[in-house]
Amino acid sequence: MYRIIFKPFLDFIVAAILLILLFPLIFISFIFIKLEDPSGPVLFKQKRIGKDSKEFRVFKLRSMKVRTHDKSGKELTDHERMLRFGELFRKLSIDELPQLINILRGEMSFIGPRPLPIIYGPYYNKNENRRHEIKPGISGWAQVNGRNSISWEDKFKLDVEYVERIGLVFDIKIAFLTVYKVFAKSDVVVRGESTNIDFHTYRQEQNNGK
């Protein structure tokens, strides 16, 4: 009952309220992004894997410059491409706010496994693929237990554990832990600086029996 009726209803109502309340913050963020890098879009859009392995386009505030090379042709690192407010956006999860639209569209939930890019689709094993039995979330059990600092194996185990334990009390617990971690600015790693191995490397090691 909770998973099928109450959770989607609660997601929609809370997302609508938050989108109205946080619109000024989102609008100001739009201005900051456009002032620093006017050549690019305000929103970052990417195809992700959703419920029942269906594709959808996730929305985020862009936190990096569009330009990938400097004037000499040297490739810029993710750190060098980061907008002045980009790191702050990520630490406070401000870049995730446009995903409220994804929730209103019924593509995401507040709590659930984080949606990964569609290129990873063919690499899930049968058990890991259980994470797609429910809608992906803005935050989840794996995010409050390490976010970018834990291994892919641990992430998937936590995602499947959430699918098996999903419930109102569990969601409330994750929501409170999410707020705590956002304001504590913990477990946030800039892309390219994470100690976590690449997904493809992880899957290759699994297939090789390592």
- The 10s digit of each residue's pLDDT in 62-93 is 999 888 888 888 898 888 889 988 888 888 88
pLDDT of residue 52: 95
Query: By the 8 A CB rule, do 140 and 165 touch?
Result: no
With H, G, I as helix, E, B as strand and everything else as coil, classify residue 55. Answer: strand
If residue 43 lies in a helix (H) or strand (E), which one and from where to where?
A: strand 43-49
**How many residues are recorded in the chain?**
210
* pLDDT tier at 149, thresholds 50, 70, 90: confident
Work out the mean pLDDT of the chain and round it to a whole number. Answer: 87
What percent of the chain shows pLDDT beyond 70?
A: 87
Query: By the 8 A CB rule, do 137 and 158 touch?
Result: no
Q: Which tokens sit at 152?
A: 């892919």
pLDDT of residue 207: 58
Q: Does 103 have pLDDT greater than 80?
A: yes
